[in-house]
Structure formats: C-alpha cells, structure tokens
C-alpha cells in the first residue's frame, strides 16, 4: 500500500523535554526547571541529558538493521534551549553509528525567544539545516491567550538572521482558532507569515487538550472556544492565501514551496521507520510501535541501568495496519491509490467524489486527493472508510 517502505533507512526523532515555561495550551511531554525542581543550571541538565540520548542511540544501533539516516528532527519541549555543541554531539553520535544520507534533513524546532544570531550560527555549524519556528500568531492579544512570551516582531529578525547564517529551509508554525481571535486577526497572522517568505508553513487548529491551563479556563467559562464553522473558514482563508503565494498543501496542516516538504514528517505519514529517542518519544519499525517512559527521571534511571527505556509496545495486526495507513495516507494528496481500497471502500469514495470532498479528476487517475472541503472532514471520511 502507498509507498513501499525502505527498511534500510531509519529516521531519528530526538526529544528535548525542557521549556523555560509551559504555554497554556501545551500538553506535550516537557518540563520546566521549576517542575523538575533542579537547582543546577539548564546547561548542566542539558549536558547530562545529551549523554543519555547518546546511550539510547547506541541501543538503536544494536537493535536496528538500517544502514542510513535520511532525516533527524529535534522536537520538544524547546530544543533551542540546548547548547549548539550539545545538539552537535547527538548528530555526530548518529552519524558515526549510521550513515547520514547525503541530503540528510536535520530540523530543529525553535522558540524565537531563545535565539540569537550567534546561537543560530552555532546550530548551523553543528549540522542543523532546517528550522521550524513557533510563531503561532502575529497578534499580541492572541499570543497572550496562548501564553506565548515572544514579541511578534522578533520573528522577522530571527528569520533574517537564520538566512544570513545559511538556513535555506525555514518553516513557520501558526495556530488558528484561538479564543478571541477574529478573522481579521488570523488574516494578519497569515499575511505576516507569508511576508517572511519562508519555504514552509504549518497551520494548526488549536486543540484544547485535557489537563492544560487552557482547558481549565474553558471549563471555568473564562474562555469560549470558537465554533467549528469559524475554524473551517479560517482554514479556507489560509489555504487560499498560501496557495496563491506558491505554498501548496502536501498534508492537511502543512504547506510548502516545491521541493520543500518536511521529509521527516512525510516519513511518519508514509509509515517509514523511525527511532524516537528521549522520554516519552514514540518509535516505529516495521509495524511495531513503542514509546518510552514519560518522565525524564524515569528515563534517566532506565538508561543509567542499561535498560531499554521502552514503556510499552504494540505490534499491529494487519487489520490495524491497514486502518492506520488509510488514516495517515488520506492526509497526503494522492497518498492513497485506487488499488489500496476494497470494493466497499471504493463505493464510499464515489460518494465523497460526488459530494465534492474528493477530487474527481485525480480519482479518475487512480489517486485519492481530498479537496479543500474534504480535508476539513478528513477524519469523518476515514471513519466511513474503515469502520
């Protein structure tokens, strides 16, 4: 189904579970110094943590039969809190045990607050060649609801510095549907992101995750979540503007210039193999998924005692695999092909072609591509196809 998986390739996801402060909407596996009750400086923490990651990379080498690494992704948390040299040590650890592909994509998520031109130079020198910058919004009152501390004007400065030190691939992250965000606010953010002229933009509808500060505010009625119709309109506005600017969708929430999709993320959707290192990180190798223990301390205990940090694993049945493939590949244009579907699924697709949710011309050529309207109800279409 879809693209045949190359099992000689192994991507790496490196989790950096630290932030200076936690944003109100965030439910990621990340910890602030206060939460960890550390008294030493973040750089000490960082150094010690990198050693643990390197040990896990050694474990990956023992376990995996892959030969080369096409992509590495530093996510978090806030990877840009780590010293450039420390991230460099991780990259070298991978490069000495596996072969980095010649065009290896190495991405780092970055918070504009923690970046200077010097640090950016350092990351570039360490081997990172792609930045994903968390802009979220260009509108101060929206950023405030999101609990983001950065000054929106910093973004342009950071993007300029990044270009100056040699980053060609830069992505901007946006969030829409934040309570209190008007359509004009969102349009301003979209315009501001496009004005930066980057090769890639991701735009996500805000999800109120359980257990976050934002969820508590919603529950207390302090904040009202905008309705889905308005959020849909914002998606349409963004998609239209991005396409007009030459950024085309290659996944439901991702747009890029030709040749600039994030290859690391595409690997997830196409069911490729990857190793996630760090607390709470997920891995997938040939239909087996597992995830690490979640807390940094538990993670350290495992690694220091030479134990695998795995918390739990699942081995997918063929039925689960096929459901998962439909669930993921439908998010990509042409991700699913006619031959991937059985006869009742084909009937279901015909219905959605008729209702304008699946592109008819593409389907005639045997490829399933959601229309703009169809992308907005992708999960519903998946349920119809697999349940």
For residues 94 and 120, which CB has a smaller minimum distance to other proteins in the complex?
A: 94
Minimum Å gap between C-beta 160 and other proteins is 28
- Helix (H), strand (E) at residue 278: none
Minimum Å gap between C-beta 250 and other proteins is 13
- Helix (H), strand (E) at residue 275: strand 274-277
d(CA 21, CA 10): 32
CA quadruple 277, 2, 344, 330: dihedral, nearest 10: 60
277 within 8 A of 290, measured Cβ to Cβ: no
For residues 59 and 386, which CB has a smaller minimum distance to other proteins in the complex?
A: 386
Helices (H), the chain: 33-36, 42-63, 84-97, 117-126, 140-146, 152-164, 183-195, 213-219, 228-244, 263-269, 296-304, 318-329, 343-354, 360-364, 372-375, 378-386
Minimum Å gap between C-beta 23 and other proteins is 15
Minimum Å gap between C-beta 41 and other proteins is 29
For residues 84 and 105, which CB has a smaller minimum distance to other proteins in the complex?
A: 105
Minimum Å gap between C-beta 357 and other proteins is 7
Minimum Å gap between C-beta 123 and other proteins is 21
For residues 120 and 133, which CB has a smaller minimum distance to other proteins in the complex?
A: 133
The residue among 91, 89, 79, 85 whose CA lies nearest residue 131 is 79
For residues 365 and 383, which CB has a smaller minimum distance to other proteins in the complex?
A: 383
Question: Measuring CA to CA, how many Å separate 40 from each of 34, 45, 47?
Answer: 11, 7, 11
Minimum Å gap between C-beta 288 and other proteins is 11
Given its phi and psi angles, is residue 285 left (phi above 0), alpha (psi -120 to 50 degrees) or beta?
beta
**DSSP secondary structure string for all residues of 213-248:** HHHHHHHTTSS-PPPHHHHHHHHHHHHHHHHHTT-E
Q: Which residues contact 56 (CB under 8 A, 6 or more apart)?
A: 277, 278, 303, 309
Q: Which residues contact 341 (CB under 8 A, 6 or more apart)?
A: 326, 349, 368, 385
For residues 120 and 385, which CB has a smaller minimum distance to other proteins in the complex?
A: 385
For residues 194 and 281, which CB has a smaller minimum distance to other proteins in the complex?
A: 281
For residues 156 and 386, which CB has a smaller minimum distance to other proteins in the complex?
A: 386
Minimum Å gap between C-beta 113 and other proteins is 22
For residues 88 and 279, which CB has a smaller minimum distance to other proteins in the complex?
A: 279
198 within 8 A of 257, measured Cβ to Cβ: no
Query: Would you tell me which residues interact with other proteins (CB under 8 A)?
Result: 13, 203-205, 207, 228-229, 231-232, 235, 252-253, 265, 268-269, 274, 276, 280-284, 289, 291, 314, 320, 323-324, 327-328, 331, 355, 357, 373, 375-380, 382-383, 386-387
Minimum Å gap between C-beta 301 and other proteins is 21
């Amino acid at each position: 189904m879809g693209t045949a998986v190359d099992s000689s390739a192994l991507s790496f996801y490196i989790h950096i579970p630290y932030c200076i402060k936690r944003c109100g909407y965030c439910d990621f596996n990340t910890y602030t110094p206060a939460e960890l009750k550390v008294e030493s400086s973040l750089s000490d923490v960082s150094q010690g943590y990198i050693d643990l990651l390197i040990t896990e990379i050694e474990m990956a080498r023992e376990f995996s039969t892959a030969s080369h690494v096409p992509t590495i992704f530093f996510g978090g948390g806030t990877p840009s809190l780590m010293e450039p040299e420390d991230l460099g040590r991780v990259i070298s650890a991978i490069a000495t045990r596996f072969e980095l592909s010649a065009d290896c994509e190495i991405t780092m998520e970055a918070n504009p607050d923690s970046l200077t031109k010097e640090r950016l130079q350092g990351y570039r020198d360490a081997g990172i060649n792609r930045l994903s910058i968390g802009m979220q919004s260009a509108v101060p009152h929206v950023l405030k609801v999101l609990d983001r501390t950065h000054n929106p004007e910093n973004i342009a400065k950071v993007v300029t510095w990044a270009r100056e030190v040699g980053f060609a691939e830069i992505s901007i992250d946006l969030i829409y549907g934040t309570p209190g965000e008007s359509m004009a606010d969102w349009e301003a953010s979209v315009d501001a992101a496009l004005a930066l002229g980057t090769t890639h933009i991701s735009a996500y509808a805000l999800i109120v995750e359980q257990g976050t500060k934002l969820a508590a505010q919603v529950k207390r009625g302090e904040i009202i979540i905008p309705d889905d119709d308005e959020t849909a309109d914002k998606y349409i506005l963004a998609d239209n503007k991005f396409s007009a600017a030459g950024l085309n969708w290659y996944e439901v929430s991702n747009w890029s210039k030709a040749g600039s999709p994030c290859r690391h993320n595409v690997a997830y959707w196409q069911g490729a193999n990857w190793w996630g290192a760090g607390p709470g990180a997920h891995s997938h190798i040939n239909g087996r998924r597992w995830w690490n223990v979640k807390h940094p301390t538990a993670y350290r205990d495992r690694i220091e005692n030479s134990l695998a940090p795995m918390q739990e694993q699942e081995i997918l049945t063929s039925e689960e695999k096929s459901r998962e493939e439909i669930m993921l590949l439908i998010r990509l244009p042409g991700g699913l092909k006619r031959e991937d579907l059985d006869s009742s699924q084909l009937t279901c697709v015909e219905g959605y072609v008729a209702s304008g949710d699946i592109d008819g011309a593409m389907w005639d050529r045997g490829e399933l591509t959601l229309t703009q309207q169809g992308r907005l109800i992708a999960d519903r279409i998946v349920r119809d196809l697999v349940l």
